[in-house]
Structure 1
Amino acid sequence: MSTSCSVHLIYGPQGAGKTTHARALAARTGGVRFSIDEWMVTLYGPDLPETPDLAWVLQRVGRCHEQIWSLTRDLLQQGTPVILDLGFMRAEDRRAARQRAEACGAHPTFHFVDAPVGERRARVLRRNEDRGETFSLVVPPALFDFMETQYEPPSPAERAEAHGAAHA
């Protein structure tokens, strides 16, 4: 399948530089980028309960993923590359994304983005303050710590297949 029908799956822990990598890849390929944080903040940020629970968040993330994959199918049918910055925090998420990309008739290309945990934490805290180009939402230190427990690093096989892996 040609590069024009490719879907790029960006994954790594929080604060690693996934969105920055996704933006650069979209500019380089002429592709369309989807970043889950932007979707969540735009669609559900105003409705965020005072104390949101994980089930509330995951339900809405699932809705966003369904719509994003629907648009991904349409774009791929038109020959437009797609860059998905959707987290893919767990190995199962990455396996499911591969299957969905292949079901769309696309060749999935994985991009693993990583940096040392101290550097990532500092980036997230700095992003909270600066609210620059890649800022979508405030990530308090407790949320950063919680998300670290949810992330599954790639297996050696996943790392070996990662194309254009970026270690920011």
Structure 2
Amino acid sequence: MERTPKLFFLCGKMAAGKSTLARMLAEQGDAILLASDEWLGRLYPVEIVDIPAFMKYSTRLNETLTPHICTLLGRGLSVVLDFPGNTRRQRAWFRQLLDASGVDHELHVIDASDAVCKRQLHARSAGFPEGTRWTTDAEFDAITAYFDPPSPDEGFTIIRHEAGAGGQE
């Protein structure tokens, strides 16, 4: 029986619950999960010190993985990308993958207020060592300033999720 591959990707503010949702989608869809935080953490453990460095190394990672992801999709395997899709530029990479592979897709958008995200960020960061990156309200605010939710003209099939007090983490 031939499988119909699908590309799943996500959009949501920091600590909205994207990684939790990505794991759930991968399990439910019998899909391969690729997570940018894992790749970047292993490839560039000390280089990502600010937002420009994150953009530099995440762009390099995306360019490197593009042919691999297209091969997986071309072989009938669904892929869940736990990569940020929080700006038009980031989502343009997803569009490139779709155009190259011709597969169906779902863009899962987690709608969450800043207060919910900060609460989840604090809970997630509680056990981290002092000075761990991307854990403070100021860092959340700096990163969230770039957040640009998807619009209809981008042409994605959007599935919305509401994050709340008991929402995804």
Q: Distance in 2 between matches of 1:127 and 1:67?
A: 30
Q: Percent identity?
A: 26
The residue number in structure 2 matching 1:48 is 47
The residue number in structure 2 matching 1:6 is 6
Q: Is the 8 A contact 1:121 1:144 kept in 2?
A: yes
The residue number in structure 2 matching 1:143 is 139
Change in CA separation of 1:5 and 1:160 when aligned onto 2, cut-off 3 Å: closer
* RMSD of aligned alpha carbons: 2.5
Q: Is the 8 A contact 1:11 1:85 kept in 2?
A: no
Matches within 5 A, 1:1-168: 4-45=4-45, 47-48=46-47, 52-130=49-127, 138-155=134-151, 161-163=157-159, 165-168=160-163
Q: Is the 8 A contact 2:105 2:157 kept in 1?
A: no
Q: Distance in 1 between matches of 2:153 and 2:112?
A: 19
Shift, 1:160, TM fit:
8.6
Change in CA separation of 1:116 and 1:56 when aligned onto 2, cut-off 3 Å: closer
- Matched residue type, 1:167: E
Q: Is the 8 A contact 1:11 1:18 kept in 2?
A: yes
Q: Is the 8 A contact 1:34 1:68 kept in 2?
A: no
SS in 1 for 2:80: strand
Q: Is the 8 A contact 1:41 1:137 kept in 2?
A: no
- Matched residue type, 2:69: T
TM-score with structure 2 length normalisation? 0.81
The answer for unaligned runs of 5 or more in structure 1 is none
Q: Distance in 1 between matches of 2:4 and 2:156?
A: 23
SS in 2 for 1:154: coil
Shift, 1:11, TM fit:
1.1
The answer for unaligned runs of 5 or more in structure 2 is 164-169
Q: Distance in 1 between matches of 2:79 and 2:157?
A: 19
Change in CA separation of 1:119 and 1:28 when aligned onto 2, cut-off 3 Å: same
Q: Distance in 2 between matches of 1:43 and 1:115?
A: 30
Between structures 1 and 2, the one with greater helix share: 1
Aligned length: 159
TM-score with structure 1 length normalisation? 0.82
Shift, 1:114, TM fit:
2.0
Q: Distance in 2 between matches of 1:30 and 1:15?
A: 24
